[in-house]
Structure 1
Amino acid sequence: MSETETLFAALRQSSDEAVVDMLERMVRDAPDHALNKMNALDLAGTAGIDEDRVIATLLNAVGLGMFEMTWNVMCPSCAGVLSANKSLKTVNRAQYHCAFCAAGYETTLDNLVEVTFTVSPRVRKIAAHNPDELSAAEYYRQIFWSSAIDLPDDLEKLLDDVTLEIVDLPAGERAILSLQVPQGTLVVFDPVTHAVQFLDVSGQETSERQNLSVIFNRVQVPVDNVTLRPGPLRLALDNRTDGRVLPAVWVANPALDDLLKRRKSVLTATRLLTNQTFRDIYRTDTLAIGQRLKILSLTFLFSDLKDSTELYERVGDLTAFDLVNEHFRLLQEIIASERGAIVKTIGDAVMATFETPDRAIAAAIRMREAMSDLGAERQHQSLRLKMGIHEGSCLAVTLNGQQDYFGQTVNIASRVQGLAASRSIVVTESVVEDAHARALLETNGLKPTPRRVALSGIADKVSVYEIS
């Protein structure tokens, strides 16, 4: 048995067989680019397999050394990769700048950081393992652009429609291009160094040759727009780096707009942090000590067993311990199935996160019923959960040696849980205002009852809704 066969056999021990079969077929038969920067959500959609099953299998494959995981900071506008990181620990800038779009973005995990997977060389060697050997078109496909952009198979033909010229320029070399530049905006851009020069071509056409020189090096410097007239241009490209560069002269035209609008859903960092398999594997090694990364929207669910102390008194330590453990097992199973993850437990309480409010509400409804069923099954009707849900912005941090969350959203969610009576779910206004959450409540015939309350440490009263 080869090493690859041994690794896939090991992967089958911990992962979904249908997903493992799919990955094995891809490793055997897929073109190289399909095994680079793999988009877990796109894979799941194409194969008709549940997304979380695909994500979990890929995470397990990373653990076995079969695939490598990359955290790509990507430009929301052009979908270019601004920074490729083997760990979230190195996503450490407050802002990232896209030279191609001349725009800066605050670092958030919701829409700026995607997670992709690439086959390891020990399983199969692919062209992207040696990016200097890729053609210019394939470099753009496999290295520059993120998995968020839906590129056609014949990328070279499409690039012909949006560029005047693309040059493969070795280290220390110089190239001279003779171009006829049209009116409009042109962008001289290199995807290797991310060096850029914007050209504003306007005015009356000229027959006189214009001259421009662009130097590529590893130092990023601000550049001013260069104004030219339509007509002949002698463009000198000077590579002063120790590696090749791939400058292209892009034309800002409708074809480029159409190309950049071709998008796919991606596995965001926020989504992955709320995945139970990811938390189980990377609980203590996700963020550096002192690192803080902003999340614009995350939903928190806090739950607590009502009167658990009296339960121990009434049924005895051994029986109560078994009941509480079973309660934790059921909660984790339900939370994971609704694309959430348990962050931590505190006594009999649980803190969990979800990417969206509707998933948290769906989990809470199921958790409430599961506790009723468990109580009836074990003849202890007192197994009742108090739950609170709130959605908002927060910081992903490391606390007490594990990945956690910090901020007012977390504080409010915890305090809202304290308002819950037996078997009730208390949610905030931001939760019930979510369209998917409202639809879920209507489908289940649940009508939240509103009230205004004061929460400890919160200056103004808060609108909360009780789901009985």
Structure 2
Amino acid sequence: MPTHAVDWEFAHPPAGVWPLLADTARFNEAAGLPKYPVRREEQPDGSMRFFAESRIGPFALAWEEIPVEWVADRWFRHERRFSRGPLATLTATAELRPTPTGTICRYTLEAEPAGLAGRLLLAAGFLRASEKGLARLVDGVREHLDGRRPVAFEPPRPPLDAARRQRLERLAETVEASGHGHGLTGRLAALISGGQDNDVERIRPLALARRWAVPERDTIELCLQAVRDGILESRWDILCPRCRGAQITATSLDRLPTAAHCESCNIGYDRDFAQNVELSFHPAPSVRPVTEGEFCLFGPMSTPHVFAQLRVEPGARRALPAGFAPGAWRYRTLEPGGQVDLAVGPEGIPAAVVTADGVEVGPPATGQLVLENRDSRPRTVVVESRRWVEDALTAHRVTTMQAFRDLFAGDVLRPGDEVAIAQIALLFTDLSGSTALYERIGDAAAYRLVREHFAFLARTIRAHDGAIVKTIGDAVMAAFAEPADAVRAAVAVQAEVAAFNRQQGGEGIAIKMGVHAGHCIAVTLNDRLDYFGQMVNLAARLQGLARSGEVLLSGVLADDPKVRDVLAGIEPGTREAAAVRGMERPVDVLRLAGPFPVAGPAMTAGGA
């Protein structure tokens, strides 16, 4: 079989080179290759095969995409088997080897001709010419690693014409002037105007925050405002809990089905706002059209949370060096079947044993991971980190943010639909002695003070990644995805209420608060997202039991490890069993009476 190999040298370790060379989708786009549609065909055993068609130069091509094999930071192998075109197969392999000065990558191309046209093509030096065409891209990788260019890969042609660039610039000024741009709108505009399709077809705000080293709340608010002003469009994806692929996409919450089916894994699963419903973004077509299709279906960096993906023949074993970071991992197969979740610690890496029913954990081995296939058919074993969710902006999180509720108040569930929320924190506030306040200073002055107090609460709640769900008279109900943020917000309100009163220059207010976290359901009520359930009632009742200037926490919430960290920075409260209306037995509560310190490092909001 004709083969051509070349060595590429880099003055950086394999861990720095791998994310760029293994990003085959961006590599192919920068090389000027076209996108292609993918057709999936289910097999009798429930697995999937993947087929594609395209045209490159004078050749119409049709091929089967064979799942890529790889071990992160070490090697990958990518094979295509053609049913139409001059070649029968084309395989690219990259092997990274550390050296005293950096990395050598041995890149190998192998091809098998399909007939006379293929033999002539290979004889004319097709493999060598293909490798030389990649040399420019490899130079870009080196320059990026050396800090001489901001990105490794650039689009082969400018994504935007002059008219679209001008439109984008005008819209970017509007976003930045909104207060939600946070000085980042220029970066977003540069990404849209100059980035590859792979950079913009699915923009994830949490990944942007990590890349730009800015608070997550800032990039989330930036993207939400960009949707409102016409730069971006948003989409809700229901992710497969097994492969994390986006199987169903909707433009609004009321169009999300309650269940989905993953064609790749051939499984059905339910919608879960906190686990598998993600909000992502892409450019509005009027700003930058992005064509459908794939540049590379199975590239390693398309699923960067996957450490290894290896085919194991029936009855065979494969071993690989175990460079695993401690934490949460998962073993599964690319084909349909079960999976196993495990925690990796210092005692060694358990083996992954494939059976006819799924994947099991085997005995650990020192310094290596053993993959064993006890099934009667070949299986592709996937070893992945479960930290993938860190970059997923879940529906649960974003719907508890004030910017979302302000900008997209109409994006709600369809009538009659309800969503179970496994964990949410609710904060209820109320003014102490509001009736006496109205009598003492008059309706107009009291009304103004109450409105100012609402604005004060909204600022503080937003600063701690929460959102006001509704106001009830002089009271506020707010929601938080992270319980510790709810407690931080409550403490911050009480710590800053004295400063608020000084700003008013006259009458002051006192606030009492209750906080609880737990399970509830989300529904649409009065054209907005709302929450119902026993935990909602308890949170409201805790506020009713609080005294002026106090924060009352449920005992369950107070015992949360992250909440304990927050409480470590304030005056200890008193624990008691409180009789709560509607509850059969007394409820364990923690009463915090202050003094409450002004926010310092220990009290900083998690997303700030």
TM-score bracket, normalised by the shorter chain, equals 0.7 to 0.9
2:281 aligned residue: 117
In the TM superposition, 1:384-395 aligns within 5 A as 384-395=510-521
Which residue is equivalent to 2:310?
162
The CA deviation at 1:307 is 0.8
The answer to whether 1:81 aligns with 2:207 is no
Alignment-mate amino acid for residue 23 of structure 1: L
TM-score after normalising by structure 2: 0.58
What one-letter code is carried by the residue in structure 2 that aligns with 1:30?
Answer: G
Paired with 1:186 and 1:5, the residues of 2 have a C-alpha distance of 46
User: Any conservation in 2 of the 1:396–1:406 contact (CA below 8 Å)?
Assistant: yes
Residue from 449, 457, 460 that aligns with 2:582: 457
Q: SS of the counterpart of 2:447? A: helix
Report which structure shows greater RCO (CA 8 Å, sep ≥6).
1
Contact kept? 2:182, 2:218, Cα under 8 Å: no
Q: Following superposition of structure 1 onto structure 2, how do residues 270-281 of structure 1 map, counting pairs within 5 Å?
A: 270-281=396-407
What per-residue deviation string (whole Å, max 9, x for no partner) do you get for residues 119-145 of structure 1? 22222233xx312x544336x977xx6
| CA gap 1:105/1:325 in 2 versus in 1, 3 angstroms | same
**1:7-60 deviation line (CA, Å, top 9, x unaligned):** 222222213252101101111222211112211111011101111111111011
Partner of 1:137, secondary structure, is coil
AA in 1 matched with 2:555: E
1:242 maps to none
Task: Quote the residue 1:19 is aligned against.
Answer: 184
Q: Structure 1: which amino acid aligns with 2:490?
A: A
Equivalents in 2 of 1:378, 1:60: separation in Å?
Answer: 31
Letter in 1 for 2:292: N
| Matched letter for residue 22 of structure 1 | R
For 2:439, what is the secondary structure of its paired residue? helix
Q: Distance in 2 between matches of 1:398 and 1:118?
A: 27
> Map of 1:393-412 to 2, 5 A cutoff?
393-412=519-538
Q: 1:81 to 1:365 in 2, by over 3 A?
A: same
Counterpart in the other structure of 2:272:
108
CA distance in 1, matches of 2:385, 2:399: 30
Q: CA deviation at 1:416?
A: 0.8
- Show the 5 A alignment for 1:197-346: 200=356, 228=376, 251-252=380-381, 256-258=382-384, 264-346=390-472
Structure-1 residue corresponding to 2:153: none
CA 1:441 to 1:76, structure 2 compared with 1: closer, same or farther past 3 Å? Answer: same
After TM superposition, give the deviation of residue 90 of structure 1 in Å. Answer: 2.5
Shift of 1:409: 1.2
Cα deviation code 1:144-188 (max 9, x no counterpart): x6xxx5479xxxxx7xx5359xxxxxxxxxxxxxxx867489755
The AA in structure 1 aligned to 2:298 is A
Where 1:395 maps in the other structure, the secondary structure is strand
Structure 1 counterpart SS, 2:242: coil
**1:67 counterpart letter in structure 2:** L
TM-score (norm 1): 0.74
Aligned residue identity for 1:251: T
The runs of 5 or more residues in structure 1 that have no matched partner are 153-157, 165-179, 190-197, 202-225, 231-249
C-alpha displacement at 1:403, in angstroms?
1.3
Q: How has the CA–CA distance of structure 1 residues 317 and 76 changed in structure 2, closer, same or farther, with 3 Å as cutoff?
A: same
The equivalent of 2:230 in structure 1 is 65
State the percentage of identical aligned residues: 31
CA 1:263–1:451: 2 relative to 1, 3 Å: closer
Select the structure of larger CA radius of gyration: 2
Distance in 1, Cα, partners of 2:563 & 2:252: 33
- One-letter amino acid of the counterpart of residue 380, structure 2: V
> 1:285 & 1:38 partners in 2: Cα distance?
20
- Is this contact kept in 1: 2:306–2:383, CA < 8 A? no
Match of residue 32 from structure 1: 197
Per-residue deviation, residues 229-270 of structure 1 (Å, max 9, x unmatched)? 67xxxxxxxxxxxxxxxxxxx612xxx214777664321111
Superposed CA RMSD in Å reads 2.9
Cα separation, 2, equivalents of 1:8 and 1:40? 17
- Is the 1:187–1:199 contact (alpha carbons within 8 Å) kept by the matching residues of 2? no
Question: How far apart, in 1, do the equivalents of 2:289 and 2:334 lie?
Answer: 34
8 Å contact kept, 2:265–2:335 = no
Number of corresponding residues: 381
Contact 2:265 2:334 in 1 (8 A): no
- Higher strand fraction: Structure 1 or Structure 2? 2
Is residue 372–residue 381 contact of structure 1 (8 Å, CA) maintained in 2? Answer: no
Structure 2 unaligned blocks of 5 or more: 1-162, 318-331, 337-353, 358-373, 594-608
Structure 1 residue 281 displacement after superposition: 1.4
